[in-house]
Amino acid sequence: MEQSNSLGLMNDELLRFLEEEFKISKINRLPEKYGGGNIFSHPLVGVAQGNDPIFHKFKKIIGQKHLTPLEMWIASGQDQLSASDLYVVSVVFPFVDKIRKENNNPIVLSKITLPAEIYSVARNYGNEFKRYIIKQTINFFKEKSYIAISGMFSDSYSIVLKGGYYSTWSERYIAFAAGLGTFSLHEGLITEVGCNIRLASVVTNAPIKISRRKSDEPYANCLYYAKGICKECINKCPANAITVKGHNKVKCNKYRMKVARKMVPRLGSILKPDSRRINWKLKEDIFLVGCEFCQFGVPCTEKNPMLSHDMDYF
């Protein structure tokens, strides 16, 4: 019991540390043109153990190139150890209410519908804050004489377009493993603060308390899968990329690229360049502005809608 309590103390300390960073960091701010307020509200944190069998299941569910925590640890230059000595810390970045509400009023053009400018800017600026928070989290553990690495910073992280459409380190699936939520018809993760979020994670050898998954049912928080009573995300998607059969990533990405081609010139120099690996080749000076119409004005935007329903969905 004492050991469990001491591990829990590290969780509490980490959460307080992150809450303060979310509150005071100037990187978590919109440009003054869009009000200068915070981009993300209070974080959520979940933890999974590195030897959780679910990480090997992900290779079948997501793709064979998806890495386990131990594989990512070694790929990031760390020494071999037992997977049971590793812990995956997942962090939820919920967009603030102002951004969520304003994106209910998209920009409707003759041939395309764009997100509200404030959302595209927040989505773009939020990437820098995610990187900052993960670096701060790595330092948090380092100051306690532990090691932490992040898939986000690893050369082994890539979007894989050969033989599928997935990444080698899915933050959504990592968050699911860490008990932070379950999936939806639109494939976003529905957490206790909704699906309109961003995610990031670290792998550490710090002995931190594991979070219990409330359900191993992957769609437990989705009204459609659990109750058969909601298809709002289907109606919201301008790309027709969502049906009762699920989410078509190819259609979705094509529309996101169309959005970027219109939104990037519209927003101009206010945007920040980013980079990502596609099939392990680094592409730099790209501008990520998002889409996510399926996450706005739906029952799961800002909450877990199943909390107001009977959880007996079997």
Per-residue pLDDT of 45-94, as tens digits, reads 999 999 999 999 999 999 999 999 999 999 999 999 999 999 999 999 99
- Please report, in angstroms and rounded to a whole number, the separation of the first and last CA atoms in the chain: 34
Taking residues 226-255, what's their average pLDDT?
96
22 has pLDDT over 90? yes
Tens of pLDDT, residue by residue over 112-150, are 999 999 999 999 999 999 999 999 999 999 999 999 999
Question: What's the gap between Cα 15 and its chain centre?
Answer: 17
Query: What is the model's pTM?
Result: 0.95
Angle between helices 117-142 and 2-24 (to 10 degrees): 140
CA distance 302 to 192: 8
- When comparing pLDDT for 312 and 115, which is higher? 115
Question: Which of 250, 274, 179, 266 lies closest to 220 in space, CA to CA?
Answer: 179
Tens of pLDDT, residue by residue over 246-265, are 999 999 999 999 999 999 99
* DSSP type of residue 47: E
90, containing H or E segment: strand 87-94
At residue 1 the predicted structure's pLDDT band, cuts being 50, 70 and 90, is: very low
303 has pLDDT over 80? yes
124, containing H or E segment: helix 117-142
Q: 198: which strand partners?
A: 93
DSSP string, 145-173: T--EE-GGG-TT--EE-TTSSEESS-HHH
